[in-house]
Amino acid sequence: MSRIVIVDDEEKITKLLADRVSREGHEVSTFNSAESALTEISRMGTDVVLCDLRLGGMDGLELLTETKKVSPDTDFVIMTAYASTATAVRAMRQGAYEYLVKPFDMDEMILLLKRIMERRDLMIENVALKERISASSPAERIIGGSAATRNLRETIAKVAPTETPVLIRGESGTGKELVAAAIHNSSKRAGKPFIVINCAAVPGSLIESEMFGHEKGSFTGAVQKKPGQFKLADGGSLFLDEIGELPVLLQSKLLRAIENGEFLPVGGTRPVRVNVRIIAATNRDLEKMEGEGSFRSDLLYRLNVFPILIPPLKERKDDIAEIGAAFLSSRGFPAARVERGVWEKLMSYSWPGNVRELRNILERATILAGGDPISPSHIMITEERPAAEARDVLEGIVGRISLPEVERSLLRLALEKAGGNKSRAAEMLGITRRTLYSRMEKHGEDDGDSGGDS
């Protein structure tokens, strides 16, 4: 449904046009003066204006100019019984979409509106495509022959053709966005937009506007009307990444949008209807958050209709070589230039950062190798002892050394192995550099250098 504003100083004409346009399913507002129409357009915006050229006061061309200032995306159609080539040229130069000469056939006007709407839909889809996740390259496919990965692909194939909401769970870096894109690209909505909202990346004060859009002037900085991601995803899929970070106050509005297929933009008074498939993802325990009151139970039930759990990379190590080879190939680095020991070293690591960490390490290795084959020395990870051996070590020190002493010793050892490089030491310990400084200060190991590496 689109918003149409009709402006003509003859009420019979506005009523005739409004009745016909309304029957096509559009929302119509009529005005007998350009001034009153401009007030409405400035306040609410509109998709299309059908305006008579000659009006008392401000004429149609003046309204066209002012409309483009306050609502640049609005399409404008001039209607006139006083046709002239000069006026038509002037109207088109000022940004009019079309010029209709009265009396015109009503079906001709409806066909014109249809063309305008198709063009607007295409523009919205083009905007959406800029944000779309591409799943066409080898590095962006779900790769691997392990039983866990085969099961994941089979699960996607089963749920993709349906309209069922999907909740993807998994550790950070496992590829939740990739799975969401695969579901969309294997669905009936594949030719439509795939829109991503990272609920953790958008400031809390802006997330509602990002999700549902806003009207011009609805808040400071809202200089023009903006469609939200729900509107951009219309007909396609909306991927709500890190859904556990969504503010509680917005969760109820999201629930209504999912259940009713409509929402109010920020500052809006008329609901916007959309047809969107919801795919959400999280690495948090939503059930625990529900018990703590930080995640709505009704929203959880609505999202968790079909849960998909992505196993961490450490549970599907058989996939490492295939994932790694595909990633290197996408960077123009053939697998033949990778020494065998590289894969053995990668297989021995526990991958706390999952596939994302694997790609980062391999990208770094290609830089270090330059034109040479990638060798184990180019793989910048810490060799790990098997879990059983680590347990033996821990059992040997329990009761003989306190926890603070263990932590202090680990800090010293990591710094020593990293050659004093605090960023590298923090990476070895699986903590941030800020945490490293905090622990060093706690144990009296602070060297007074709180910035940079030494």
pLDDT at res. 371 = 82
- C-alpha closest to that of 192 among 261, 125, 288: 125
What is the longest distance spanned by two Cα atoms in the chain? 100
pLDDT at res. 134 = 42
Distances (CA, A) of 328 to 143, 201, 450: 13, 29, 37
> Are the C-beta atoms of 6 and 17 separated by less than 8 Å?
yes
pLDDT at res. 276 = 94
The amino acid at residue 235 is G
pLDDT at res. 385 = 47
Residues 6+ apart with CB under 8 A from 395: none
pLDDT at res. 219 = 75
Calpha distance 257→413 (Å, rounded)? 53
Distances (CA, A) of 442 to 83, 363, 404, 407, 436: 83, 35, 10, 10, 10
> DSSP secondary-structure letter at 58?
S
- Among 39-43, 105-109, 205-209, 446-450, the range scoring the smallest mean pLDDT is 446-450
pLDDT at res. 168 = 97
Average pLDDT over residues 168-189: 93
Sign of CA dihedral 114, 115, 116, 120: positive
pLDDT digits 0-9 by tens, 279-319: 999 999 999 999 999 999 999 999 999 999 999 999 999 99
Question: What is the strand order of the sheet 237-241 is part of?
Answer: 194-198, 237-241, 277-282, 166-169, 306-309
Helix, strand, coil percentages in the chain from 3-state DSSP, rounded to 5: 50, 15, 35
Calpha distance 210→197 (Å, rounded)? 8
Burial class (CB in 10 A: 0-12, 13-18, 19+), 107: exposed
pLDDT at res. 1 = 63
Burial class (CB in 10 A: 0-12, 13-18, 19+), 290: middle
Residues 6+ apart with CB under 8 A from 158: none
Examine the pLDDT at 452 and tell me if it is beyond 60: no
The amino acid at residue 62 is E
Examine the pLDDT at 453 and tell me if it is beyond 60: no
Give the other-Cβ count within 10 Å of 136's Cβ.
8
Calpha distance 249→253 (Å, rounded)? 8
Which pair of structure tokens corresponds to residue 110?
Answer: 């409806």
Query: Which residues is 363 bridged to in the sheet?
Result: none
Q: For each of the domains in the chain, give its residue range(s) and CATH number, in order of start.
A: 3-128 (3.40.50.2300), 138-309 (3.40.50.300), 313-378 (1.10.8.60), 387-442 (1.10.10.60)
129 falls in which pLDDT band (50, 70, 90)? low
pLDDT digits 0-9 by tens, 395-412: 667 666 778 888 888 888
At residue 74, φ and ψ (nearest 5 deg) are: -70, 135
- C-alpha closest to that of 259 among 217, 209, 301: 301
Average pLDDT over residues 425-445: 79
Give the chain's length: 454
Task: Cite the beta strand spans of 223-333 per DSSP E.
Answer: 226-227, 237-241, 262-263, 272-273, 277-282, 306-309
- Among 186-200, 212-226, 362-376, the range scoring the smallest mean pLDDT is 212-226
133 falls in which pLDDT band (50, 70, 90)? very low
